[in-house]
Chain A
Amino acid sequence: MKMKVLPAEKRPNRRAMIGIVCVLIFLILITLYIVGASMNELLFEPDFSQKLLPPTMKHPFGTDFLGRDMFARTIKGLSLSMFIGATASGAAAVIALIVGIVAALGKTWLDHFLNWVIDLTMGIPHTVLLILIAIATGRGITGLIIGISLTHWTGIARIIRGEVLQIRSRRYITASRKLGKSRLWVAVRHILPHMIPQFFIGLVLQFPHAIMHESGLTFLGYGMPPETPAIGIILSESMRYLSAGMWWLAFFPGAALAIVVLLIDKLGESLKLALDPASAQE
């Protein structure tokens, strides 16, 4: 069969499609977040008359050993995860931006030093470093955010440093310097604007990472306290009941987490297609 090539004006506009996907995903995520964050805690109160029920219309995700509604807990947990993920990956991206630009523009020894720090951070196994930092900074939400942001900036920092190095060798930068503009002025006016797409793409692509690590750490018991309706807590609690056949305690929250992570990843990939100069015109 022959491929039929549509004339350009009849082909769906790829950027428009991507835009729609991005907006849709963003709306879904933001709705999920708002519903979860504003949720009344009474919705997942213990109710022993309803304990360990399989999924029903009333409790679509079933209930746990205290009779808490798992649907409400899952939504609440997702919003909590999204908050931590957003804050941590935002902080990580800011660190990366600063480090990347300083490394590329500063003195050579500074560049060497920052590269060494990046290598060091990447060299230590992620989870181990995360656990150490999270414990040292007092566990809980703060510990998690600090831990995740301090371990997740390295990848973006490398990309940004590479980009800066490339742009720095351009003629207009040299010209600008020769005309007497300060390093700072050049960095802010000529280099920073080029970094914005990398910054946002890195941020969004780091987001699911952060969420997974948050859940993972909490699952292992180094994250949030057990009374918090976090996905990690929910999953680690559910382990105790799997062998008694209560599959819904793990399945729905786990699947919900995976879906959210996939959505955010899709958002990041779409943003990359739309914003990254290398792929934006495809």
Chain B
Amino acid sequence: MKKLISFALILTLSLALFAMLTGCTENATTENDPVETSDAAPTGEAAAPTDEDDDTGQPLPVKDELIIGFTSIPTHFDPLQSGSAGVLLFSSLIAADADMNIVPDLAESWEISNDGMVYTFNLRDDALFTDGTPVKASDVVFSYYTIMNGATSTDLSIVESVAAADDSTIVITLKQPRSVFLLTAAEVYIAPEHLYNDDFGLNPVGSGPFKLEQYNADEQFILTANEAYYAGAPAMKRVVFVKMDSEDVRLAAAQSGQVDITLTSAVTAAGVGEVPGYYLLVEESVDNMGIALPFTLNEGEINEYGAPVGNDVTGDIAVRKALSYGIDRQKICDDALSGFASPAYSENDGMPWSNPENKIDYDLDLAKKYLDDAGWIDEDGDGIRSKDGVRASFALLYFANDSVRQAVAHATAQQARDNLGIEIDVDAAATADFAATMYSTPIILAWGSSNPMTSYYLFHSSNAGKDDWYNPENYRNATVDSYLDQALNAKSLEESYEYWKKAQWDGITGTSLKGDAAYVFLINKKHLYWAREGLNTGRQKIHAHGDAWPLVANLKDWKWEQ
């Protein structure tokens, strides 16, 4: 027992001591002292090869190397088997630029048939795999068929056939028109047929801007520039991705000058203020967070997973409307994310297929009017409304360990209680526990992608009430369904925009907060990174959900500035 006690005491004291020390280093670093941090030890090995370039404070020749403190190291790089780093090591037929325009990649041009079913791509002739062989149409056909025959990277079930008309012409025939097919094709990376085998994931050979030099599972991987890249070799000649999976390690690495760029969080960024020699890179995202509100009343229904469906409070549109209009989103951004977020009004703010009408103004009076008109009145004077004996009260779940969602949930709950008279009990649950509760209990969920298909999954009734997280609230609206179908089956992406927008709000109904408000979107997270001064990360696409890979998607455009 004695041992245990002294252990506890020592643990506590050393913890406190450590805490106070780190509290002090914060001040120390502002005077530009090099700080010794034991936490940085695991990264020392990886950083060692570039040490000579990495001493802070000395004037350097133009650097062409980069060290990234990365949240996770992929287990393989096979782009056909949803390996990460596809965009860095491989090319696809086409790509989407920062404005979500479709631009050429391996294909220098393409035509779409009038019925929107046949896509013809003309390959450029100067693209080489890094083993020196040219990228041929047969490689494209091979890659598509490997995915269609069961590889897992992309859903290509819409594709009927892929054929090589000649060495540089590919004809893809769809089963039916699919407006988003070009966006899908932009995510299909091309692997060389003659080198593809079971070990390809660890020995990837692509035609992208970088090639894999070294890979240490769970530690780091190193990319070097592909000098033969058809669009010009990237400015960064060697890029080291070091695994840093905890916020402490990443911060310590930045404070000791061991990385050139690494992820940080709103809490750390606000708490630490600044790291000398670094600037805070703030990237906008569609990484949105909102509440999925069960769309139907609880009528005792039990679904195919054995879970109850519906909620008597959120099943009332007045409550959902009140939450849409009566929550001050900017205040949540300030409260929960120290201002490192912006208000969200849909799952796709800022995308070309987002309806500008989605944005609504914070209007507490309107929100209260919705509740009053629907008969939600505070009868017993406890500050919480009720209607026909049902209290305006529901639980709001978030994933345990996600402190951002926790903070957003509490910030929302507070406003709902104080301003609207709606009681929200915030509670955490393990991911596995949601199976039984998510069809009847509101959850904080996060979405955001650079493909409008997300809207289809989120709101089309064919996907309602499934256990894939998209539509646990059981949202169904026939009008929205028809717009979504039209959008998906439109003959081109541009043509589909109008229907995606109408599905959100057509003036009468829609998925947006003005319409059915099944999802009350609250905030778009900003993605934050400590970046060494002088590092130019180029013009980035609006980041999708997830803050690691979207950052480096345009790594080929990064450069050091004098």
Binding site for B on A (CB under 8 A): 46, 48, 51-52, 65-66, 205, 208-209, 212, 221, 225-227, 237, 239-247, 250-251, 254-255, 257-258, 261-262, 265, 268
Q: B5 and A241: CB pair below 8 A?
A: no
| CB-CB under 8 A for A226 and B1, given A52-B271, A66-B406 | no
Contact of B248 among A242, A250, A251 (CB under 8 A): A242
Contacts A225-B427, A251-B16, A254-B15 aside, 9 further interface pairs with beta carbons under 8 A come to A208-B1, A208-B5, A226-B428, A242-B22, A244-B267, A245-B22, A250-B15, A251-B15, A255-B16
Binding site for A on B (CB under 8 A): 1, 4-5, 8-9, 11-13, 15-16, 18-20, 22-23, 26, 39, 247-248, 251-252, 267-268, 271-272, 334-336, 400-401, 403, 406-407, 410-411, 413-414, 426-429
Q: A254 and B12: CB pair below 8 A?
A: yes
* 23 A-B pairs whose Cβ atoms sit less than 8 Å apart in the complex: A46-B411, A48-B334, A48-B336, A48-B410, A48-B414, A51-B335, A66-B406, A66-B407, A66-B410, A208-B4, A208-B5, A212-B4, A212-B8, A221-B401, A227-B426, A239-B248, A242-B18, A242-B248, A245-B22, A246-B19, A247-B20, A250-B16, A251-B12
Chain B: minimal CB distance from A241 (Å): 7
| CB-CB under 8 A for A243 and B267, given A66-B406, A251-B16, A255-B12 | no
Residues of A within 8 A of B248 (CB): 239, 242-243
The 4 closest A-B pairs by CB, nearest first: A244-B271, A247-B19, A48-B335, A245-B23
Residues of B within 8 A of A258 (CB): 5, 8-9, 12
Contact of B16 among A209, A239, A245, A247 (CB under 8 A): A247
| CB-CB under 8 A for A257 and B8, given A209-B1, A251-B15 | yes
How many pairs of residues, A versus B, come closer than 8 Å at their CB atoms? Answer: 108
Residues of A within 8 A of B11 (CB): 254
Contact of A242 among B19, B403, B411 (CB under 8 A): B19
With the chains together, A254 CA to B20 CA distance in Å?
A: 14
With the chains together, A261 CA to B406 CA distance in Å?
A: 30
With the chains together, A117 CA to B16 CA distance in Å?
A: 40
| CB-CB under 8 A for A241 and B1, given A247-B20, A250-B19, A251-B16 | no
With the chains together, A67 CA to B407 CA distance in Å?
A: 10
Q: B4 and A209: CB pair below 8 A?
A: yes
With the chains together, A51 CA to B334 CA distance in Å?
A: 11
Q: A227 and B427: CB pair below 8 A?
A: yes
Give the interface SS of chain A, mostly helix, strand, loop or mixed.
helix
Contact of B401 among A46, A66, A226, A227 (CB under 8 A): A226
Q: B271 and A237: CB pair below 8 A?
A: no
With the chains together, A250 CA to B5 CA distance in Å?
A: 18
Chain A: minimal CB distance from B393 (Å): 15
| CB-CB under 8 A for A65 and B407, given A225-B427, A244-B267, A261-B8 | yes
Residues of A within 8 A of B8 (CB): 212, 257-258, 261
Chain B: minimal CB distance from A24 (Å): 19
With the chains together, A226 CA to B251 CA distance in Å?
A: 25
Chain A: minimal CB distance from B336 (Å): 7
With the chains together, A254 CA to B336 CA distance in Å?
A: 25
Nearest A residue (CB) for B414 = A46
| CB-CB under 8 A for A243 and B16, given A48-B336, A65-B267, A66-B410 | no
Residues of B within 8 A of A262 (CB): 5, 9
With the chains together, A225 CA to B202 CA distance in Å?
A: 40
Chain B: minimal CB distance from A125 (Å): 14
Residues of B within 8 A of A209 (CB): 1, 4
Residues of A within 8 A of B23 (CB): 245-247
With the chains together, A225 CA to B429 CA distance in Å?
A: 7
With the chains together, A212 CA to B15 CA distance in Å?
A: 16
Chain B: minimal CB distance from A247 (Å): 3
Residues of B within 8 A of A242 (CB): 15, 18-19, 22, 248
Chain A: minimal CB distance from B349 (Å): 23
Nearest A residue (CB) for B11 = A254
Chain A: minimal CB distance from B24 (Å): 8
Chain A: minimal CB distance from B153 (Å): 32
With the chains together, A65 CA to B411 CA distance in Å?
A: 11
Nearest B residue (CB) for A244 = B271
Residues of A within 8 A of B16 (CB): 247, 250-251, 254-255
